[in-house]
Chains A and B, each alone.
Chain A
Amino acid sequence: MLFRQAGIFHTDYSADRALFPIPADRWMIGILLLLALAAPIYMNTLYLSSYLLPWLVWTAGALGLNLILGWAGQFHLGYAAVMGIGAYAAVHATRAGIPWEIAIVLAGITAAVIGSVFAFAALRVKGLYLALSTLALQFVMDWTISHVPAISGGTQATLQAPDIRLLGWAVTSDAGLYYVALVWCVLVTSFMLNLRRTALGRALVAVREKDYAAAVIGVNSFYFKLVAFATSSFIGGVSGAILIGTFYHAVTPEQFSVDVSIQALAMVIVGGLGSIIGSYFGAAFILLMPGVMNSFISWAATKFGFSLGIETLAHLPQAFYGALIIGFLLIEPLGLGKIYNNIRDYLLVWPFGYTKK
Protein backbone atom coordinates (compact mmCIF):
# COMPACT_ATOMS: atom_id res chain seq x y z
CA MET A 1 0.00 0.00 0.00
CA LEU A 2 2.45 2.56 1.24
CA PHE A 3 5.31 1.41 -0.99
CA ARG A 4 3.24 0.73 -4.07
CA GLN A 5 5.22 -1.03 -6.79
CA ALA A 6 2.45 -1.46 -9.32
CA GLY A 7 2.92 0.66 -12.39
CA ILE A 8 6.66 1.14 -12.02
CA PHE A 9 8.24 0.07 -15.28
CA HIS A 10 11.87 0.76 -16.00
CA THR A 11 12.85 1.29 -19.59
CA ASP A 12 16.61 1.43 -19.13
CA TYR A 13 19.20 -0.17 -16.90
CA SER A 14 20.21 2.98 -15.05
CA ALA A 15 16.62 3.60 -13.96
CA ASP A 16 16.49 0.02 -12.69
CA ARG A 17 19.57 0.80 -10.62
CA ALA A 18 18.26 4.10 -9.23
CA LEU A 19 18.90 4.60 -5.53
CA PHE A 20 15.19 4.66 -4.71
CA PRO A 21 13.15 3.08 -7.48
CA ILE A 22 9.92 3.20 -5.44
CA PRO A 23 8.21 6.64 -5.31
CA ALA A 24 7.19 6.22 -1.66
CA ASP A 25 10.87 5.90 -0.71
CA ARG A 26 11.74 9.02 -2.69
CA TRP A 27 9.00 10.98 -0.92
CA MET A 28 10.16 9.75 2.45
CA ILE A 29 13.80 10.66 1.79
CA GLY A 30 12.74 14.08 0.49
CA ILE A 31 10.61 14.80 3.55
CA LEU A 32 13.31 13.55 5.91
CA LEU A 33 15.90 15.77 4.22
CA LEU A 34 13.59 18.77 4.49
CA LEU A 35 12.94 18.02 8.16
CA ALA A 36 16.68 17.68 8.71
CA LEU A 37 17.38 20.98 6.95
CA ALA A 38 14.69 22.77 8.92
CA ALA A 39 15.64 21.20 12.25
CA PRO A 40 17.31 24.38 13.64
CA ILE A 41 13.98 26.20 13.18
CA TYR A 42 11.67 23.91 15.10
CA MET A 43 14.04 22.17 17.50
CA ASN A 44 15.49 23.78 20.59
CA THR A 45 19.23 24.14 20.65
CA LEU A 46 19.71 21.68 23.52
CA TYR A 47 18.22 18.82 21.51
CA LEU A 48 19.86 19.99 18.32
CA SER A 49 23.41 20.15 19.61
CA SER A 50 23.39 17.44 22.25
CA TYR A 51 21.30 14.72 20.54
CA LEU A 52 20.82 15.31 16.83
CA LEU A 53 24.34 16.49 16.04
CA PRO A 54 26.31 13.68 17.73
CA TRP A 55 23.84 11.18 16.29
CA LEU A 56 24.59 12.34 12.75
CA VAL A 57 28.36 12.32 13.26
CA TRP A 58 28.29 8.90 14.92
CA THR A 59 26.10 7.57 12.15
CA ALA A 60 28.71 8.64 9.61
CA GLY A 61 31.36 6.95 11.76
CA ALA A 62 29.29 3.79 12.14
CA LEU A 63 28.76 3.67 8.38
CA GLY A 64 32.53 3.74 7.92
CA LEU A 65 32.88 0.80 10.29
CA ASN A 66 30.00 -0.95 8.55
CA LEU A 67 31.97 -0.70 5.30
CA ILE A 68 34.74 -2.86 6.72
CA LEU A 69 32.57 -5.10 8.92
CA GLY A 70 29.34 -5.42 6.95
CA TRP A 71 30.60 -5.20 3.38
CA ALA A 72 34.16 -6.54 3.39
CA GLY A 73 33.48 -8.82 6.38
CA GLN A 74 36.70 -7.98 8.23
CA PHE A 75 36.67 -7.47 11.99
CA HIS A 76 37.87 -4.13 13.27
CA LEU A 77 38.23 -3.58 17.00
CA GLY A 78 40.34 -0.44 16.71
CA TYR A 79 37.94 1.90 14.98
CA ALA A 80 38.00 4.51 17.74
CA ALA A 81 41.78 4.70 17.36
CA VAL A 82 41.31 5.52 13.68
CA MET A 83 38.82 8.24 14.59
CA GLY A 84 41.29 9.50 17.18
CA ILE A 85 44.06 9.74 14.59
CA GLY A 86 41.78 11.89 12.46
CA ALA A 87 40.76 14.04 15.40
CA TYR A 88 44.32 14.74 16.53
CA ALA A 89 45.50 15.32 12.95
CA ALA A 90 42.75 17.88 12.34
CA VAL A 91 43.30 19.68 15.65
CA HIS A 92 47.04 19.93 15.10
CA ALA A 93 46.59 21.03 11.51
CA THR A 94 44.13 23.80 12.39
CA ARG A 95 46.31 24.93 15.29
CA ALA A 96 49.16 25.19 12.79
CA GLY A 97 47.03 27.56 10.77
CA ILE A 98 45.81 25.23 8.01
CA PRO A 99 42.23 26.06 6.93
CA TRP A 100 39.70 23.72 8.51
CA GLU A 101 38.30 22.33 5.27
CA ILE A 102 41.79 21.21 4.24
CA ALA A 103 42.54 20.02 7.77
CA ILE A 104 39.68 17.52 7.82
CA VAL A 105 40.78 16.08 4.48
CA LEU A 106 44.29 15.79 5.94
CA ALA A 107 42.76 14.11 8.98
CA GLY A 108 41.05 11.57 6.73
CA ILE A 109 44.22 10.94 4.72
CA THR A 110 46.36 10.55 7.84
CA ALA A 111 43.88 8.04 9.27
CA ALA A 112 43.69 6.21 5.94
CA VAL A 113 47.49 6.00 5.60
CA ILE A 114 48.08 4.79 9.18
CA GLY A 115 45.05 2.49 8.93
CA SER A 116 46.21 0.87 5.71
CA VAL A 117 49.85 0.56 6.75
CA PHE A 118 48.56 -1.27 9.78
CA ALA A 119 46.09 -3.32 7.72
CA PHE A 120 48.93 -4.28 5.39
CA ALA A 121 50.42 -6.24 8.27
CA ALA A 122 47.19 -7.26 9.98
CA LEU A 123 45.48 -8.62 6.87
CA ARG A 124 47.94 -11.51 6.65
CA VAL A 125 45.70 -13.20 9.22
CA LYS A 126 41.96 -13.75 9.16
CA GLY A 127 38.97 -13.89 11.47
CA LEU A 128 39.61 -13.78 15.20
CA TYR A 129 43.32 -13.24 14.66
CA LEU A 130 42.57 -10.17 12.58
CA ALA A 131 40.20 -8.94 15.30
CA LEU A 132 43.02 -9.24 17.84
CA SER A 133 45.53 -7.46 15.60
CA THR A 134 43.11 -4.57 15.11
CA LEU A 135 42.74 -4.44 18.88
CA ALA A 136 46.50 -4.03 18.94
CA LEU A 137 46.09 -0.95 16.69
CA GLN A 138 43.82 0.49 19.37
CA PHE A 139 46.31 -0.06 22.17
CA VAL A 140 49.30 1.12 20.15
CA MET A 141 47.43 4.30 19.25
CA ASP A 142 46.24 4.85 22.84
CA TRP A 143 49.79 4.50 24.07
CA THR A 144 51.31 6.67 21.36
CA ILE A 145 48.80 9.47 21.80
CA SER A 146 49.14 9.62 25.57
CA HIS A 147 52.93 9.11 25.71
CA VAL A 148 54.02 11.49 22.98
CA PRO A 149 53.57 15.04 24.30
CA ALA A 150 53.88 16.42 20.77
CA ILE A 151 50.58 14.73 19.94
CA SER A 152 48.58 14.88 23.12
CA GLY A 153 50.07 18.05 24.56
CA GLY A 154 51.33 16.23 27.65
CA THR A 155 49.93 13.54 29.95
CA GLN A 156 46.30 14.02 30.97
CA ALA A 157 46.21 17.02 28.67
CA THR A 158 43.25 18.41 26.78
CA LEU A 159 43.92 20.13 23.49
CA GLN A 160 41.52 22.92 22.66
CA ALA A 161 40.20 22.70 19.09
CA PRO A 162 40.15 26.03 17.23
CA ASP A 163 36.75 27.17 15.97
CA ILE A 164 35.66 25.81 12.63
CA ARG A 165 36.17 28.25 9.77
CA LEU A 166 34.67 27.44 6.37
CA LEU A 167 35.98 29.59 3.49
CA GLY A 168 36.97 32.21 6.03
CA TRP A 169 33.63 32.27 7.85
CA ALA A 170 33.70 31.25 11.48
CA VAL A 171 31.09 28.58 12.16
CA THR A 172 30.18 28.92 15.82
CA SER A 173 26.38 28.91 16.00
CA ASP A 174 24.62 25.68 16.95
CA ALA A 175 22.80 25.64 13.62
CA GLY A 176 26.04 26.09 11.67
CA LEU A 177 27.77 23.23 13.48
CA TYR A 178 24.69 21.08 12.96
CA TYR A 179 24.77 21.70 9.22
CA VAL A 180 28.44 20.70 9.07
CA ALA A 181 27.54 17.39 10.68
CA LEU A 182 24.48 16.96 8.45
CA VAL A 183 26.46 17.52 5.24
CA TRP A 184 29.10 14.98 6.26
CA CYS A 185 26.49 12.40 7.22
CA VAL A 186 24.64 12.87 3.92
CA LEU A 187 27.90 12.55 1.96
CA VAL A 188 28.88 9.31 3.68
CA THR A 189 25.36 7.93 3.30
CA SER A 190 25.29 8.65 -0.43
CA PHE A 191 28.68 6.95 -0.81
CA MET A 192 27.40 3.88 1.00
CA LEU A 193 24.21 3.84 -1.07
CA ASN A 194 26.29 3.94 -4.23
CA LEU A 195 28.43 1.13 -2.89
CA ARG A 196 25.39 -1.13 -3.17
CA ARG A 197 25.27 -0.75 -6.93
CA THR A 198 28.86 -0.45 -8.08
CA ALA A 199 31.61 -2.91 -8.92
CA LEU A 200 33.53 -1.94 -5.77
CA GLY A 201 30.65 -2.84 -3.47
CA ARG A 202 30.11 -6.16 -5.23
CA ALA A 203 33.81 -7.00 -5.06
CA LEU A 204 33.82 -6.32 -1.30
CA VAL A 205 30.84 -8.62 -0.76
CA ALA A 206 32.56 -11.28 -2.87
CA VAL A 207 35.63 -11.07 -0.64
CA ARG A 208 33.39 -11.34 2.43
CA GLU A 209 31.42 -14.33 1.20
CA LYS A 210 33.99 -16.62 -0.46
CA ASP A 211 37.50 -15.44 -1.14
CA TYR A 212 38.41 -18.41 -3.38
CA ALA A 213 35.35 -17.83 -5.56
CA ALA A 214 36.22 -14.14 -5.64
CA ALA A 215 39.71 -15.05 -6.87
CA VAL A 216 38.52 -17.10 -9.87
CA ILE A 217 36.47 -14.19 -11.18
CA GLY A 218 39.51 -11.93 -10.91
CA VAL A 219 38.98 -10.22 -7.56
CA ASN A 220 42.26 -9.67 -5.73
CA SER A 221 41.07 -10.22 -2.14
CA PHE A 222 44.05 -8.61 -0.44
CA TYR A 223 43.83 -5.47 -2.54
CA PHE A 224 40.12 -5.02 -1.90
CA LYS A 225 40.48 -5.66 1.82
CA LEU A 226 43.14 -2.97 1.84
CA VAL A 227 40.87 -0.59 -0.09
CA ALA A 228 38.11 -1.30 2.42
CA PHE A 229 40.43 -0.57 5.34
CA ALA A 230 41.71 2.64 3.77
CA THR A 231 38.24 3.94 2.86
CA SER A 232 36.73 3.08 6.20
CA SER A 233 39.70 4.69 7.97
CA PHE A 234 39.22 7.82 5.87
CA ILE A 235 35.56 8.03 6.84
CA GLY A 236 36.47 7.29 10.47
CA GLY A 237 39.23 9.90 10.53
CA VAL A 238 37.04 12.67 9.11
CA SER A 239 34.18 11.66 11.43
CA GLY A 240 36.55 11.86 14.40
CA ALA A 241 37.73 15.30 13.29
CA ILE A 242 34.15 16.53 12.84
CA LEU A 243 33.10 15.05 16.18
CA ILE A 244 35.80 17.13 17.85
CA GLY A 245 35.14 20.24 15.76
CA THR A 246 31.38 20.32 16.20
CA PHE A 247 30.67 18.52 19.45
CA TYR A 248 33.53 18.16 21.93
CA HIS A 249 35.51 21.29 20.89
CA ALA A 250 38.54 19.78 22.65
CA VAL A 251 40.38 16.51 22.26
CA THR A 252 41.62 14.10 24.93
CA PRO A 253 42.86 10.52 24.55
CA GLU A 254 39.91 9.06 26.52
CA GLN A 255 37.45 10.18 23.87
CA PHE A 256 38.82 7.49 21.58
CA SER A 257 39.64 4.69 24.00
CA VAL A 258 38.92 0.99 23.56
CA ASP A 259 35.40 1.14 25.02
CA VAL A 260 34.49 3.71 22.36
CA SER A 261 35.66 1.15 19.78
CA ILE A 262 33.35 -1.41 21.35
CA GLN A 263 30.53 1.13 21.29
CA ALA A 264 31.04 1.76 17.59
CA LEU A 265 31.03 -1.99 17.04
CA ALA A 266 27.78 -2.24 19.00
CA MET A 267 26.21 0.46 16.82
CA VAL A 268 27.00 -1.52 13.69
CA ILE A 269 25.93 -4.89 15.06
CA VAL A 270 22.74 -3.68 16.76
CA GLY A 271 21.91 -1.69 13.65
CA GLY A 272 22.63 -4.56 11.32
CA LEU A 273 25.69 -5.64 9.35
CA GLY A 274 25.61 -4.24 5.84
CA SER A 275 22.52 -2.15 6.49
CA ILE A 276 22.70 1.61 5.90
CA ILE A 277 19.49 2.58 7.65
CA GLY A 278 20.54 0.15 10.38
CA SER A 279 23.60 2.26 11.14
CA TYR A 280 21.28 5.23 11.76
CA PHE A 281 19.15 3.13 14.11
CA GLY A 282 22.17 1.54 15.77
CA ALA A 283 23.88 4.87 16.46
CA ALA A 284 20.65 6.30 17.86
CA PHE A 285 20.11 3.24 20.03
CA ILE A 286 23.60 3.20 21.51
CA LEU A 287 23.76 6.98 22.03
CA LEU A 288 20.28 7.62 23.35
CA MET A 289 19.27 4.43 25.14
CA PRO A 290 21.37 4.90 28.33
CA GLY A 291 19.86 8.36 28.87
CA VAL A 292 16.34 7.20 28.06
CA MET A 293 16.70 4.22 30.41
CA ASN A 294 17.99 6.50 33.14
CA SER A 295 15.05 8.86 33.02
CA PHE A 296 12.61 5.97 32.64
CA ILE A 297 13.85 4.29 35.80
CA SER A 298 13.83 7.46 37.88
CA TRP A 299 10.35 8.21 36.56
CA ALA A 300 9.17 4.72 37.51
CA ALA A 301 10.79 5.02 40.93
CA THR A 302 8.85 8.18 41.79
CA LYS A 303 5.64 6.95 40.17
CA PHE A 304 5.46 3.65 42.01
CA GLY A 305 7.06 4.98 45.15
CA PHE A 306 9.98 2.58 45.51
CA SER A 307 13.26 4.08 46.53
CA LEU A 308 16.50 3.03 44.96
CA GLY A 309 19.98 3.49 46.32
CA ILE A 310 22.37 5.72 44.41
CA GLU A 311 24.43 2.66 43.44
CA THR A 312 21.44 0.78 42.05
CA LEU A 313 20.21 3.82 40.24
CA ALA A 314 23.56 4.15 38.54
CA HIS A 315 23.84 0.53 37.45
CA LEU A 316 20.27 -0.50 36.72
CA PRO A 317 19.99 1.45 33.45
CA GLN A 318 23.22 -0.15 32.24
CA ALA A 319 21.84 -3.60 32.98
CA PHE A 320 18.56 -2.85 31.22
CA TYR A 321 20.42 -1.40 28.28
CA GLY A 322 22.55 -4.55 27.99
CA ALA A 323 19.46 -6.73 28.25
CA LEU A 324 17.79 -4.69 25.49
CA ILE A 325 20.73 -5.26 23.14
CA ILE A 326 20.63 -8.99 23.78
CA GLY A 327 16.85 -9.01 23.38
CA PHE A 328 16.96 -7.23 20.04
CA LEU A 329 19.67 -9.50 18.70
CA LEU A 330 17.77 -12.60 19.82
CA ILE A 331 14.65 -11.46 18.02
CA GLU A 332 16.48 -10.34 14.89
CA PRO A 333 20.18 -11.19 14.62
CA LEU A 334 20.49 -8.97 11.56
CA GLY A 335 19.71 -5.96 13.69
CA LEU A 336 17.33 -3.03 13.67
CA GLY A 337 17.86 -2.48 9.95
CA LYS A 338 16.42 -5.93 9.27
CA ILE A 339 13.42 -5.20 11.52
CA TYR A 340 12.80 -2.06 9.47
CA ASN A 341 13.07 -4.09 6.25
CA ASN A 342 10.63 -6.70 7.55
CA ILE A 343 8.08 -3.98 8.28
CA ARG A 344 8.70 -2.47 4.86
CA ASP A 345 8.32 -5.84 3.12
CA TYR A 346 5.04 -6.29 4.97
CA LEU A 347 3.79 -2.89 3.88
CA LEU A 348 4.91 -3.48 0.28
CA VAL A 349 2.00 -5.85 -0.24
CA TRP A 350 -0.35 -4.80 2.56
CA PRO A 351 -3.25 -5.55 2.75
CA PHE A 352 -2.69 -8.44 0.39
CA GLY A 353 -0.32 -10.40 2.61
CA TYR A 354 -0.78 -13.59 0.62
CA THR A 355 1.03 -12.09 -2.39
CA LYS A 356 4.35 -12.62 -0.72
CA LYS A 357 7.22 -10.88 -2.38
Chain B
Amino acid sequence: MRIERGEIFGLVGPNGCGKTTLTNAITGFYPPQRGHILLNGRDITGLAPHYVATLGVARTFQNLALFNGMSVLDNILLGRHIHMKPSVGRTALYWWLARSDETLNRAAVEDVIDFLQLEGVRDELVDGIPIGLKKRVELARALAAEPSFLILDEPMAGMNQEEKEYMARFILDARDERNVTVLLIEHHMDVITGICDRMLALNYGEMIGSGVPADVVADPRVIEAYIGGAHVAR
Protein backbone atom coordinates (compact mmCIF):
# COMPACT_ATOMS: atom_id res chain seq x y z
CA MET B 1 0.00 0.00 0.00
CA ARG B 2 1.39 3.37 -1.01
CA ILE B 3 -0.03 6.84 -0.60
CA GLU B 4 1.33 9.57 -2.86
CA ARG B 5 2.01 13.07 -1.61
CA GLY B 6 -0.98 15.36 -2.01
CA GLU B 7 -3.45 12.55 -2.38
CA ILE B 8 -6.73 11.88 -0.63
CA PHE B 9 -6.61 8.16 -0.12
CA GLY B 10 -9.75 6.30 0.93
CA LEU B 11 -9.73 3.19 3.10
CA VAL B 12 -12.84 1.07 3.38
CA GLY B 13 -13.80 -2.35 4.63
CA PRO B 14 -16.30 -4.11 6.86
CA ASN B 15 -16.14 -3.75 10.63
CA GLY B 16 -13.12 -5.48 12.13
CA CYS B 17 -11.20 -5.68 8.87
CA GLY B 18 -8.24 -3.74 10.30
CA LYS B 19 -8.73 -0.14 9.21
CA THR B 20 -8.21 1.32 12.66
CA THR B 21 -5.48 -1.22 13.40
CA LEU B 22 -3.63 0.06 10.35
CA THR B 23 -3.93 3.64 11.62
CA ASN B 24 -2.75 2.61 15.05
CA ALA B 25 0.26 0.92 13.50
CA ILE B 26 1.13 4.03 11.49
CA THR B 27 0.78 6.36 14.47
CA GLY B 28 2.85 4.06 16.65
CA PHE B 29 0.28 2.67 19.08
CA TYR B 30 0.93 -0.92 17.97
CA PRO B 31 4.19 -2.17 16.52
CA PRO B 32 3.33 -4.20 13.39
CA GLN B 33 4.23 -7.91 13.46
CA ARG B 34 5.51 -7.79 9.90
CA GLY B 35 6.37 -5.15 7.37
CA HIS B 36 7.59 -1.57 7.49
CA ILE B 37 6.03 1.85 7.54
CA LEU B 38 7.87 4.52 5.60
CA LEU B 39 7.13 8.22 5.87
CA ASN B 40 8.83 10.34 3.21
CA GLY B 41 11.31 7.49 2.77
CA ARG B 42 12.09 7.28 6.50
CA ASP B 43 11.33 4.09 8.43
CA ILE B 44 8.98 4.98 11.28
CA THR B 45 8.04 1.41 12.24
CA GLY B 46 7.74 1.02 16.01
CA LEU B 47 8.41 4.65 16.96
CA ALA B 48 6.51 6.01 19.97
CA PRO B 49 3.24 7.85 19.13
CA HIS B 50 4.38 11.22 20.50
CA TYR B 51 7.52 10.98 18.38
CA VAL B 52 5.61 10.06 15.24
CA ALA B 53 3.53 13.20 15.83
CA THR B 54 6.63 15.39 15.69
CA LEU B 55 7.41 13.98 12.22
CA GLY B 56 4.24 15.55 10.83
CA VAL B 57 1.64 12.81 11.23
CA ALA B 58 -1.68 13.91 12.72
CA ARG B 59 -4.89 11.97 13.20
CA THR B 60 -8.42 12.17 14.48
CA PHE B 61 -10.24 9.41 16.28
CA GLN B 62 -13.33 7.43 15.38
CA ASN B 63 -14.72 8.06 18.86
CA LEU B 64 -13.89 11.64 19.68
CA ALA B 65 -10.79 12.25 21.74
CA LEU B 66 -11.06 15.89 22.74
CA PHE B 67 -9.89 17.13 26.10
CA ASN B 68 -12.95 17.82 28.20
CA GLY B 69 -12.95 20.68 30.65
CA MET B 70 -10.99 22.88 28.26
CA SER B 71 -12.27 25.47 25.83
CA VAL B 72 -12.36 24.85 22.09
CA LEU B 73 -9.53 27.35 21.76
CA ASP B 74 -7.31 25.52 24.27
CA ASN B 75 -8.01 22.21 22.57
CA ILE B 76 -6.85 23.57 19.23
CA LEU B 77 -3.87 25.29 20.87
CA LEU B 78 -2.85 21.86 22.13
CA GLY B 79 -2.53 20.88 18.49
CA ARG B 80 0.38 23.36 18.36
CA HIS B 81 2.19 21.42 21.08
CA ILE B 82 4.98 20.18 18.82
CA HIS B 83 5.71 23.76 17.73
CA MET B 84 5.92 25.09 21.29
CA LYS B 85 8.42 24.58 24.06
CA PRO B 86 6.47 23.95 27.25
CA SER B 87 8.60 24.27 30.36
CA VAL B 88 8.37 25.22 34.01
CA GLY B 89 10.66 28.21 33.54
CA ARG B 90 8.58 29.61 30.70
CA THR B 91 5.44 29.20 32.77
CA ALA B 92 6.91 30.92 35.84
CA LEU B 93 8.32 33.79 33.78
CA TYR B 94 5.41 33.98 31.34
CA TRP B 95 5.67 37.72 30.76
CA TRP B 96 9.28 37.53 29.59
CA LEU B 97 9.69 34.07 28.11
CA ALA B 98 6.35 32.72 26.93
CA ARG B 99 4.07 35.59 25.90
CA SER B 100 5.47 36.19 22.42
CA ASP B 101 5.53 32.46 21.65
CA GLU B 102 1.97 32.00 22.91
CA THR B 103 0.82 34.93 20.77
CA LEU B 104 2.48 33.59 17.61
CA ASN B 105 0.92 30.18 18.08
CA ARG B 106 -2.41 31.77 18.87
CA ALA B 107 -2.26 33.51 15.50
CA ALA B 108 -1.64 30.17 13.78
CA VAL B 109 -4.59 28.67 15.65
CA GLU B 110 -6.84 31.56 14.64
CA ASP B 111 -5.98 30.76 11.01
CA VAL B 112 -7.27 27.24 11.51
CA ILE B 113 -10.34 28.54 13.35
CA ASP B 114 -11.11 30.80 10.40
CA PHE B 115 -10.45 27.97 7.98
CA LEU B 116 -12.91 25.63 9.71
CA GLN B 117 -15.40 28.37 10.64
CA LEU B 118 -15.24 27.77 14.37
CA GLU B 119 -15.21 31.44 15.44
CA GLY B 120 -18.57 31.20 17.18
CA VAL B 121 -17.62 28.44 19.59
CA ARG B 122 -14.03 29.50 20.23
CA ASP B 123 -14.56 30.19 23.94
CA GLU B 124 -17.12 27.47 24.66
CA LEU B 125 -16.21 24.46 26.75
CA VAL B 126 -15.64 21.57 24.39
CA ASP B 127 -17.88 19.28 26.47
CA GLY B 128 -20.99 21.25 25.59
CA ILE B 129 -20.92 21.65 21.80
CA PRO B 130 -22.77 19.39 19.30
CA ILE B 131 -21.04 16.31 17.91
CA GLY B 132 -20.72 17.72 14.39
CA LEU B 133 -18.75 20.65 15.79
CA LYS B 134 -16.69 18.38 18.03
CA LYS B 135 -15.57 16.45 14.96
CA ARG B 136 -14.63 19.73 13.35
CA VAL B 137 -12.70 20.84 16.46
CA GLU B 138 -10.79 17.59 16.36
CA LEU B 139 -9.94 18.20 12.71
CA ALA B 140 -8.86 21.71 13.70
CA ARG B 141 -6.60 20.35 16.42
CA ALA B 142 -5.01 17.97 13.93
CA LEU B 143 -4.56 20.72 11.29
CA ALA B 144 -3.12 23.15 13.85
CA ALA B 145 -0.05 20.90 14.06
CA GLU B 146 0.60 21.66 10.36
CA PRO B 147 0.96 17.99 9.53
CA SER B 148 2.12 16.70 6.19
CA PHE B 149 0.11 13.51 6.60
CA LEU B 150 -3.35 13.47 8.15
CA ILE B 151 -5.30 10.36 9.09
CA LEU B 152 -9.04 10.82 9.50
CA ASP B 153 -10.75 7.89 11.17
CA GLU B 154 -14.43 8.12 10.23
CA PRO B 155 -14.70 11.90 10.43
CA MET B 156 -18.33 11.76 9.31
CA ALA B 157 -19.71 9.07 11.60
CA GLY B 158 -22.98 10.24 13.14
CA MET B 159 -23.30 13.34 10.98
CA ASN B 160 -26.25 14.53 8.95
CA GLN B 161 -26.05 15.22 5.20
CA GLU B 162 -25.29 18.92 5.60
CA GLU B 163 -22.53 18.34 8.13
CA LYS B 164 -21.08 15.63 5.88
CA GLU B 165 -20.92 18.00 2.94
CA TYR B 166 -19.20 20.63 5.08
CA MET B 167 -16.67 18.09 6.27
CA ALA B 168 -15.98 16.83 2.73
CA ARG B 169 -15.36 20.40 1.63
CA PHE B 170 -13.01 21.00 4.55
CA ILE B 171 -11.02 17.88 3.70
CA LEU B 172 -10.64 18.94 0.06
CA ASP B 173 -9.63 22.47 1.12
CA ALA B 174 -7.14 21.14 3.66
CA ARG B 175 -5.46 19.16 0.91
CA ASP B 176 -5.45 22.08 -1.55
CA GLU B 177 -4.61 24.99 0.75
CA ARG B 178 -2.59 23.41 3.52
CA ASN B 179 -0.70 20.78 1.47
CA VAL B 180 -1.85 17.84 3.52
CA THR B 181 -1.87 14.26 2.32
CA VAL B 182 -5.00 12.59 3.66
CA LEU B 183 -5.79 9.00 4.57
CA LEU B 184 -9.56 8.88 4.93
CA ILE B 185 -11.39 6.00 6.60
CA GLU B 186 -15.10 6.11 5.90
CA HIS B 187 -18.20 3.98 5.60
CA HIS B 188 -20.06 6.51 3.49
CA MET B 189 -19.34 5.28 -0.05
CA ASP B 190 -20.63 8.47 -1.63
CA VAL B 191 -17.98 10.44 0.23
CA ILE B 192 -15.22 8.02 -0.76
CA THR B 193 -16.13 7.99 -4.43
CA GLY B 194 -16.76 11.74 -4.32
CA ILE B 195 -13.52 13.08 -2.92
CA CYS B 196 -10.87 10.36 -2.95
CA ASP B 197 -8.20 10.12 -5.63
CA ARG B 198 -7.48 6.47 -4.96
CA MET B 199 -8.76 3.96 -2.49
CA LEU B 200 -8.13 0.60 -0.89
CA ALA B 201 -10.62 -1.99 0.33
CA LEU B 202 -9.70 -4.30 3.18
CA ASN B 203 -11.29 -7.54 4.34
CA TYR B 204 -9.95 -9.61 7.28
CA GLY B 205 -6.67 -7.75 6.99
CA GLU B 206 -6.30 -8.61 3.28
CA MET B 207 -6.19 -6.00 0.53
CA ILE B 208 -9.04 -7.00 -1.77
CA GLY B 209 -9.01 -4.10 -4.17
CA SER B 210 -7.23 -0.86 -4.79
CA GLY B 211 -7.13 1.88 -7.37
CA VAL B 212 -9.50 4.56 -8.61
CA PRO B 213 -12.70 4.57 -6.47
CA ALA B 214 -15.09 3.96 -9.39
CA ASP B 215 -13.23 0.73 -10.30
CA VAL B 216 -12.83 -0.51 -6.76
CA VAL B 217 -16.48 -0.15 -5.78
CA ALA B 218 -17.46 -2.03 -8.94
CA ASP B 219 -15.12 -4.92 -8.11
CA PRO B 220 -17.26 -8.01 -7.30
CA ARG B 221 -14.91 -9.06 -4.47
CA VAL B 222 -15.34 -5.69 -2.79
CA ILE B 223 -19.11 -5.84 -3.19
CA GLU B 224 -19.16 -9.34 -1.78
CA ALA B 225 -17.11 -8.38 1.26
CA TYR B 226 -18.76 -5.07 1.88
CA ILE B 227 -22.39 -5.42 0.92
CA GLY B 228 -22.75 -9.20 0.82
CA GLY B 229 -22.45 -11.48 -2.17
CA ALA B 230 -25.72 -13.39 -1.90
CA HIS B 231 -27.86 -10.34 -2.47
CA VAL B 232 -25.96 -9.31 -5.55
CA ALA B 233 -26.19 -12.78 -7.09
CA ARG B 234 -29.93 -12.94 -6.62
**Of B74, B78, B107, which is in contact with the most chain A CB atoms at under 10 Å from its CB?**
B78
**Of A17, A199, A201, which is in contact with the most chain B CB atoms at under 10 Å from its CB?**
A199
A218 touching B145, Cβ below 8 Å: yes
**Of A202, A217, A224, A274, which is in contact with the most chain B CB atoms at under 10 Å from its CB?**
A217
- Answer yes or no: B59 CB below 8 A from chain A CBs: yes
A17 touches which one: B87, B102, B142 (CB < 8 A)? B102
A231 touches which one: B49, B50, B88, B105 (CB < 8 A)? B88
- Answer yes or no: B99 CB below 8 A from chain A CBs: yes
Q: Which residue of A lies closest to B77 (CB)?
A: A202
Known A205-B70, A210-B67, A227-B88; contact A220-B50, beta-carbon cutoff 8 A:
yes
Known A14-B102, A218-B53; contact A199-B86, beta-carbon cutoff 8 A:
yes
B78 touching A203, Cβ below 8 Å: yes
A199 touching B88, Cβ below 8 Å: no
- Answer yes or no: B131 CB below 8 A from chain A CBs: no
Known A198-B90, A203-B86; contact A213-B99, beta-carbon cutoff 8 A:
no
- Answer yes or no: A9 CB below 8 A from chain B CBs: no
A195 to B102, alpha carbons, bound, how many Å?
12
- Answer yes or no: A311 CB below 8 A from chain B CBs: no
By a CB distance below 8 angstroms, the chain A residues around B102 are: 13-14, 17, 197-199
A14 touching B99, Cβ below 8 Å: yes
A191 to B98, alpha carbons, bound, how many Å?
13
A198 touches which one: B29, B54, B98, B141 (CB < 8 A)? B98
A195 to B88, alpha carbons, bound, how many Å?
9
B78 touching A200, Cβ below 8 Å: no
- Chain A residue total in the interface (Cβ 8 A): 33
A195 touching B91, Cβ below 8 Å: yes
Q: Which residue of B lies closest to A193 (CB)?
A: B94
- Answer yes or no: A121 CB below 8 A from chain B CBs: no
Those of B73-93 within 8 Å (CB) of chain A: 74, 77-82, 84-88, 90-92
- Answer yes or no: B27 CB below 8 A from chain A CBs: yes
- Answer yes or no: A125 CB below 8 A from chain B CBs: no
Smallest beta-carbon distance B187→chain A, Å:
22
Q: Which residue of A lies closest to B82 (CB)?
A: A218
By a CB distance below 8 angstroms, the chain A residues around B160 are: none
Smallest beta-carbon distance B49→chain A, Å:
4
B69 touching A209, Cβ below 8 Å: yes
B50 touches which one: A12, A202, A218 (CB < 8 A)? A218
Nearest 4 interchain pairs by C-beta? A213-B65, A218-B53, A199-B86, A215-B49
A residues within 8 Å of B by Cβ?
12-14, 16-17, 191, 194-195, 197-203, 205-206, 209-210, 212-221, 224, 227, 231, 274
14 contacts between A and B (CB under 8 A): A198-B86, A199-B85, A199-B98, A200-B86, A200-B87, A201-B91, A210-B67, A213-B65, A216-B50, A216-B53, A218-B54, A218-B81, A218-B145, A219-B78
